Amino acid sequence: MSGEPMKKKRRLSGFGMIASTDELYEQRCSLPIYPARSKLVNEIRKTSSVIVIGETGSGKTTQIPQYVSEAGLVKNAMIACTQPRRVAAITVAQRVAMEMNVELGKEVGYCVRFDDMTSAQTKIKYMTDGMLLREALLDPLLLRYNMVILDEAHERTIHTDVLFGIVKDAQKKRKDGVHHPLKIVVMSATMDVDHFSRYFNNCNVLYLEGRQYPIEIFYCNQPQSDYLFSAVVSIFQIHQEEPPGHDILVFLTGQEEIEAVVKSVRDIAQDLSTDYPRLFVCPMYAALPPSQQLKIFQPTPQGARKVIIATNIAETSVTIQGIKHVIDTGKVKARSYRAGSGLDILKVQWLSKAQAWQRTGRSGREDSGTCWRLYTEEEFEALPDNTIPEIQRCNLASVVLQLLALGIPNILEFDFIDKPSSEAIIGALDQLHLLSAVEKTDQIQLTPFGKRMVMFPLEPQFSRILLMAKEYSCLEEVLTIVSMLSVESVLHTPHSKRENALAARKKFESSDGDFIMLLNIYKAYRAVKGNKEWCFENFINGRHMQTALDVRQQLHGMCLKARLTIQSCGQNTSAIRKCMTSGLFMNSAELQRDGEYLTLDRRQSVYIHPSSCLFQCKPAYVLYSELVHTSKCYMRNLCVVDPEWLYEAAPTYFKRRYSKNT
Ligand code: CDP
Ligand code: MG
């Protein structure tokens, strides 16, 4: 029967848990989406586009591709299912391979930046939205797929937003009778359905019946000045009052504060009387090693309680069972952008009402639940209804470069579901012009240099660095630095052993800054062949190092393909720093007489991040790889530079800035 989940016999062992195929089959059949499967398959069969709305955990991501494949709708092509997050693409593919009892990478695979787990047999491909966008560069009609599922549409990431336009255009062009048709499925937990339906030619919307039990919501009486402290207090208040087995999910904004709160909660729990249930504290964020991420899915032992402290990854991307209480700090870390400066800043900010409801809904899935909002009802009322799409608050340089590479010359006329401001688009074009990627004749077009930049899956400034390395004979070195900057930090600084970690790091440090330090770490790691003990003793995250090596190998391959010669400049760190300046000159800051730094473009006040090896130093001019806004605006990953190098890298830019600032 069409859409019937397939049943195979064999025992499977996952990470520490054993689930038989029978059990998996039963789990599949008990999902809220299961009763709707024939209706879904029929709808997808008869129309070209459909929107599916259903609560997190109802089974959209894992089941719909399987139903479609079981119903024989895939034929000789593939289904792409996009995810805004890498972790989601990987874990969902693992889960689906397990449910289908196939090896990951065969019929079911995933593809994320620098990690492709697919093969010629792959029919269901989970991928990040960014990867599908890259594929569109080579194949704008997406002919390898006969269905594209744009998942987590409500997240409105910049890549998903661009994909809406590209997929819609590909579908229209493939209605020519020559090509096989393309089906589009847009999936989401909550969203402005009418807006989406209108955009996709008034397509139908299917609502899945979710399970939702009543949820009691508590607000604070007064605004909270320290949401981390309030979160810890709330955890113990619930812990002391509620029976064991009622798990707690806490929403925070990032790795550092999560680790800090995990530590406080563990410390306090140790001193608690044994009358209270045992407390299992699990952090959850994207950079956490996969084995530790899986801990949150393991059932809580009898008589104990689990507390999961997560980023907004737990809002919709992953489903956790057993949650009875949600603590919502009301905060989220998001990119924001100031048009004009062209820079993205990662900043902790208030969430939207839609996100707050999504968090609330994480309790009350299996029984009634509670949600503790660590803000007042007035503060809630003042929140915006929906999150502003990323495309309207991010630097567009990378996306504009890709759209130009796709042959879309008039970006302002591209069929965006929500248009970014023309100021932002012009700003991006301006930046690309400074990076010598575009030229403005009667029409805006990519330069030959710009076309080569598109070959690398990197932000344009980093692609430029690789391409400019020839001039400084240092591709060997900048390849390493760019790879190290493309992965999560390789520095492991546990709270309890901070001093030891900093002492161990001393030998890698450089007065030239973090870029050179990263290079030193890489060389030392290679010299000991990635020895685990060495990593442990030196507080280096071996897993992230391994990823950096892997990324480097792939970028190395791309450089060879681009016919670049891999040369080394030896100990000449000036050559390396000059080369880095050629791409990152827009990320520069100058020391002021009062000992503070101002960025060169917008004269914005910035500080050296405590994780930098230059934290105690005051070089006159620095480059940085990114700005992070927590209590202050911090520059991360610094490099000492000469002001002349900045000027040489972009004379017109600095001339213009200089005349503006004086
Ligand atoms: O996409 P949606 O949020 O509707 O649900 P899903 O991701 O397809 O998840 C459906 C169910 O599959 C969840 O409730 C989990 O029980 C299970 N699942 C899992 O065990 N491990 C995963 N990595 C993903 C899903
Ligand atoms: Mg999903």
Q: What is the pLDDT of residue 505?
A: 94
Q: What is the pLDDT of residue 14?
A: 36
Counting atoms of ligand 1 from 1, which one is nearest the CA of 33? 4
Closest-approaching ligand to the CA atom of 29:
1
Q: Would you say the CB of residue 637 lies under 6 angstroms from ligand 1? A: no
Q: Could you tell me where the DSSP H helices lie in 226-328?
A: 227-241, 255-271, 290-293, 313-316
Q: What is the pLDDT of residue 441?
A: 81
323-328 and 247-251 strand pairing: parallel
As a whole number, mean pLDDT of residues 464-477 equals: 97
Two structure tokens written together for 133: 């966008």
What is the Å distance from ligand 2's center to 188 Cα? 7
Q: Which residues contact 55 (CB under 8 A, 6 or more apart)?
A: 32, 189, 208, 210, 211, 212, 361, 365
Residue 393 CA, distance from chain mean position = 16
For residues 637 and 624, give the distance between their C-alpha atoms in angstroms, rounded to a whole number.
Answer: 5
Q: Would you say the CB of residue 60 lies under 6 angstroms from ligand 1? A: yes
Beta bridge partners of 304: 278
331-338 and 343-350 strand pairing: antiparallel
What burial letters (b/e) apply to 122-143, b meaning 16+ CB within 10 Å?
Answer: bbbbbbbbbbbbbbbeeebbbe
Question: What distance separates the 2 farthest-apart alpha carbons in the chain?
Answer: 77
Identify the residue whose C-alpha is closest to ligand 1 atom 10: 59
Q: DSSP character for 317? A: T
Q: Would you say the CB of residue 95 lies under 6 angstroms from ligand 1? A: yes
Within 10 Å of residue 255's Cβ, how many Cβ atoms? 17
Q: Would you say the CB of residue 92 lies under 6 angstroms from ligand 1? A: yes
Judge whether residue 640 has pLDDT over 70.
yes
Closest-approaching ligand to the CA atom of 26:
1
Q: What angle do CA 506, 510, 513 make, to 5 degrees?
A: 120
pLDDT, tens digit, for every residue of 199-226? Answer: 999 999 999 887 778 899 999 999 999 9
Two structure tokens written together for 227: 């949401």
Select from 3.30.930.10, 2.60.40.420, 3.40.50.300, 3.30.70.100 the CATH code of 215-390.
3.40.50.300
Counting atoms of ligand 1 from 1, which one is nearest the CA of 54? 4
Identify the residue whose C-alpha is closest to ligand 1 atom 21: 95
Judge whether residue 658 has pLDDT over 70.
no
User: Which of 62, 296, 313 is the pocket-test mutation for ligand 1 (most atoms within 8 Å of CB)?
Assistant: 62
Q: What is the pLDDT of residue 11?
A: 35
Q: Which helix (H) or strand (E) holds 399?
A: helix 397-405
Beta bridge partners of 408: none
Mean pLDDT of the chain: 90
Q: Would you say the CB of residue 59 lies under 6 angstroms from ligand 1? A: yes
Q: What is the pLDDT of residue 517?
A: 98
Task: Please state at what angle helix 542-561 crosses helix 475-485, rounded to 10 degrees.
Answer: 130
Backbone φ, ψ for residue 310 (5° rounding): -130, 160
Backbone φ, ψ for residue 317 (5° rounding): -70, -35
What is the third-level CATH fold of 11-208?
Rossmann fold (3.40.50)
Judge whether residue 87 has pLDDT over 90.
no
pTM value?
A: 0.85
Q: What percent of the chain has pLDDT over 70?
A: 94
Identify the residue whose C-alpha is closest to ligand 1 atom 19: 95
For residues 268 and 282, give the distance between their C-alpha atoms in angstroms, rounded to a whole number.
Answer: 15
Within 10 Å of residue 478's Cβ, how many Cβ atoms? 26
**Please, which contacts does 57-61 make with residues 24 or more away whose CB atoms are closer than 8 Å?**
57/32, 57/210, 57/319, 57/365, 58/31, 58/32, 58/33, 58/208, 58/210, 58/211, 59/28, 59/31, 59/32, 59/33, 59/34, 60/33, 60/151, 60/187, 60/208, 61/88, 61/92, 61/151, 61/187
Q: What is the pLDDT of residue 10?
A: 37
Q: Would you say the CB of residue 342 lies under 6 angstroms from ligand 1? A: no
Closest-approaching ligand to the CA atom of 294:
1
Q: What is the pLDDT of residue 379?
A: 96
Judge whether residue 91 has pLDDT over 90.
no
What is the Å distance from ligand 2's center to 38 Cα? 19
Counting atoms of ligand 1 from 1, which one is nearest the CA of 56? 3
pLDDT, tens digit, for every residue of 616-627? Answer: 999 999 999 998
What is the Å distance from ligand 2's center to 88 Cα? 8
Two structure tokens written together for 385: 């209804």
Helix, strand or coil for residue 408?
Answer: coil
Identify the residue whose C-alpha is closest to ligand 1 atom 8: 59
Beta bridge partners of 291: none
Counting atoms of ligand 1 from 1, which one is nearest the CA of 297? 20
Judge whether residue 316 has pLDDT over 60.
yes
- Same CATH fold, 215-390 and 11-208? yes
Q: Would you say the CB of residue 358 lies under 6 angstroms from ligand 1? A: no
Q: Would you say the CB of residue 56 lies under 6 angstroms from ligand 1? A: yes
Closest-approaching ligand to the CA atom of 33:
1
For residues 169 and 141, give the distance between their C-alpha atoms in angstroms, rounded to a whole number.
Answer: 8
Judge whether residue 89 has pLDDT over 90.
yes
What burial letters (b/e) apply to 608-635, b meaning 16+ CB within 10 Å?
Answer: bbebbbbeeeebebbbbbbbbeeeebbb
pLDDT, tens digit, for every residue of 424-450? Answer: 899 899 999 999 999 988 788 999 999
Q: What is the pLDDT of residue 370?
A: 95
For the chain, the structural domain boundaries read 11-208, 215-390, 398-453, 460-661
Q: Would you say the CB of residue 31 lies under 6 angstroms from ligand 1? A: yes
What is the Å distance from ligand 2's center to 63 Cα? 9
For residues 652 and 658, give the distance between their C-alpha atoms in angstroms, rounded to a whole number.
Answer: 10
DSSP structure string for 247-267: EEEEE-S-HHHHHHHHHHHHH
What is the Å distance from ligand 1's center to 67 Cα? 15
Q: What is the pLDDT of residue 659?
A: 56
What is the Å distance from ligand 2's center to 205 Cα? 17
Q: What is the pLDDT of residue 590?
A: 97
Q: Would you say the CB of residue 62 lies under 6 angstroms from ligand 1? A: yes
Q: What angle do CA 638, 642, 645 make, to 5 degrees?
A: 105
Two structure tokens written together for 522: 């890489």
For residues 201 and 198, give the distance between their C-alpha atoms in angstroms, rounded to a whole number.
Answer: 5
For residues 475 and 582, give the distance between their C-alpha atoms in angstroms, rounded to a whole number.
Answer: 13
Answer with the residue of higher pLDDT: 189 or 235: 235
Residue 315 CA, distance from chain mean position = 14
Q: Would you say the CB of residue 54 lies under 6 angstroms from ligand 1? A: yes
CA atoms within 13 A on the CB side of 458: 29
Identify the residue whose C-alpha is closest to ligand 1 atom 12: 59
pLDDT, tens digit, for every residue of 249-290? Answer: 999 998 889 999 999 999 999 988 888 899 999 999 888 877
As a whole number, mean pLDDT of residues 351-366 equals: 88
Q: Would you say the CB of residue 66 lies under 6 angstroms from ligand 1? A: no
Local confidence band at 337 (pLDDT 50, 70, 90 cut-offs): low
Judge whether residue 340 has pLDDT over 70.
no
User: Which of 150, 295, 319, 320 is the pocket-test mutation for ligand 1 (most atoms within 8 Å of CB)?
Assistant: 319
Contact 61, 195 (CB under 8 A): no
Judge whether residue 488 has pLDDT over 80.
yes
Counting atoms of ligand 1 from 1, which one is nearest the CA of 91? 23
pLDDT, tens digit, for every residue of 511-561? Answer: 999 999 999 999 999 999 999 999 999 999 998 999 899 999 999 999 999
What is the Å distance from ligand 2's center to 187 Cα? 8
Which of 13-22, 106-115, 144-153, 484-493 is predicted least confidently?
13-22
CA atoms within 13 A on the CB side of 206: 22
For residues 427 and 371, give the distance between their C-alpha atoms in angstroms, rounded to a whole number.
Answer: 42
What burial letters (b/e) apply to 410-441, b meaning 16+ CB within 10 Å?
Answer: ebeebebbebbeeebbebbbbbbbbbbbbeee
Q: Would you say the CB of residue 395 lies under 6 angstroms from ligand 1? A: no
For residues 357 and 346, give the distance between their C-alpha atoms in angstroms, rounded to a whole number.
Answer: 23
Local confidence band at 594 (pLDDT 50, 70, 90 cut-offs): very high
The alpha carbon dihedral of 566, 571, 572, 574 has a sign of positive
Local confidence band at 662 (pLDDT 50, 70, 90 cut-offs): very low
Task: Please state at what angle helix 460-472 crosses helix 475-485, rounded to 10 degrees.
Answer: 160
pLDDT, tens digit, for every residue of 50-60? Answer: 999 998 888 99
Question: Could you tell me what percentage of the chain is helix, strand and coil, using 3-state DSSP and rounding each to the nearest 5?
Answer: 45, 20, 35
As a whole number, mean pLDDT of residues 612-639 equals: 93
What is the Å distance from ligand 1's center to 72 Cα? 23
User: Which of 63, 81, 95, 99 is the pocket-test mutation for ligand 1 (most atoms within 8 Å of CB)?
Assistant: 95
Residues in the chain: 662
